[in-house]
Chains A and B, each alone.
Chain A
């Protein structure tokens, strides 16, 4: 099973980019949590370091088998992830009003992270099996993929975790659009969505509505709901070109910046490293995504291509939404910056996804 060609084809670029991002993340986390504990290295930093080490281990693990073996496992994995989502609704710990965490032998994780990749795999299998030889899919061809998407989304919305549900929808629709939809169907779909907006609005919780309103006009309430986004913009903007210097960010140090090691980790970097540092990070992610798309392009089969694309879409959307939020372009939805914010399940599951991407990359020259 182990092939010398695999080692030759090992995607060092991908690994390098990931390593750079991970290192930047750790360095930034150190600053964001510096001084939270009384002395020594911040606990959060140490934990994240372990999570990265575990994550990279999982990444390597994910390269050890041929990703084609995942195709028959996609549906069972999907069903399994649905089971986890139901379980979290029954047994999950309630933190600040939502049930997102499941505890398993002392390790807490978010089943939605698992569901995210299981869903991608399921969609990849569907589109691999149901190849549309004409140009695009009709709406009636897409009923099954829609169902595949809808079930986990509904469960995640129930937690409630609007951000993750939104992300899963964006990723799924990216895959569907990539698969190709007839423009008539697309028009019908968008009309239907627009018609559903008032209904969706009515199902939103008060705090969710307020977040969206605050996004539309953050200065409305500078000490209330608009506080976070204003402080984040101040942090980013005050970094100017070269930044205030590592560990010198006043917005960070004096805690004007909220959620600085999770949702607003990017703002910490932007404050301390300025435009220069921000663009450096942006470039790293751009490189990662473009490289991911290249892997998709070079993959020799539909399953691999869709799988790679789905994984890349996760990175893309999480990055765009988080940075868009921190810079005030998008409303505040609780989506951490992928591979950069503090958070064990996210890091490990994302790196697992990266492992699969690597797997696809390594086997791009293999013909079956």
Chain B
């Protein structure tokens, strides 16, 4: 029994460690819609994996990465309003995923687990896969952090100063895709973006530098995981939504703290 809780806690903390800094970048870069679209289309990858009887985690990961590349290419399609297109894509891919899944006759599939996460069903091998992806993303974040921050602050200036802006954007999208794919099991496709956005937004109020913002976001995400798991353990609430809810509470609490900006 304690194993279940330990695995769940470790998995949640790993996701929080990645989604903190990554979520900060996503927030600063106003990419929340991309996150949603990626998360919702993860269901398509799931359907595909089931249809091909492949490893579900890998098929979700690969399809998320592919969709990230497609979304990245969309920015060159000049004559469209990108935000409405992303909104359309996001919800149609969710609907398509649900419809496709209904065609696949699989008794053992628990759809709720994918929509809202099933943290307490994490197995040792899931944890190993999760740790590998998280370590990879954290390594990339460490390596490219200052370039990514410069991109978020002012992309044109970064480009003039010689940063490979397009490649950094692609890298950011791919990291979000990988995180979405692995976090699906923790909080579910409907709530993944919340793990990216809420801790980062809560941290933004008190942080004094991008680095502080990233670390604080990871810390707040970790606290939210602990709070959510405690709720799931003691009151039998669903773990994923409980985590997001406790992140939301931390955000509200954060608003009471003295802000970094004087004008606020």
Partners in one complex: no
- Interface residues of chain B, those whose CB is within 8 Å of chain A, are none
